[in-house]
Amino acid sequence: MVHRARQRLVEQRTATVNRIRGLLAEIGVVLPPKTATFGAAPPRRWGNCRA
């Protein structure tokens, strides 16, 4: 039961990161395709973004 709950959380996190990555790609911000690097990437790369 715990395994299924954890798996669901991982799936939701991956889906959320993919949605955010897709939205950012529309404005020209390209992030690496790993969920683990997503948390570290935004502060360095968002400085050049304009909305």
DSSP letters spanning 24-36: HHHTT----S-HH
Contact 24, 33 (CB under 8 A): no
**Six-digit token pair at 17?**
């990161």
How far is residue 5's CA from residue 38's CA, in Å, rounded to a whole number? 22
pLDDT of res. 47? 61
N- to C-terminal Cα separation, the chain: 43
- Sorted by where each begins, the domain ranges of the chain are 2-48
Give the pTM.
0.65
Confidence of residue 30 (pLDDT cuts 50, 70, 90): confident
pLDDT in tens, 15-29: 998 998 899 899 988
Query: Looking at residues 41-51, what average pLDDT do you find?
Result: 56
pLDDT of res. 7? 95
Confidence of residue 37 (pLDDT cuts 50, 70, 90): low
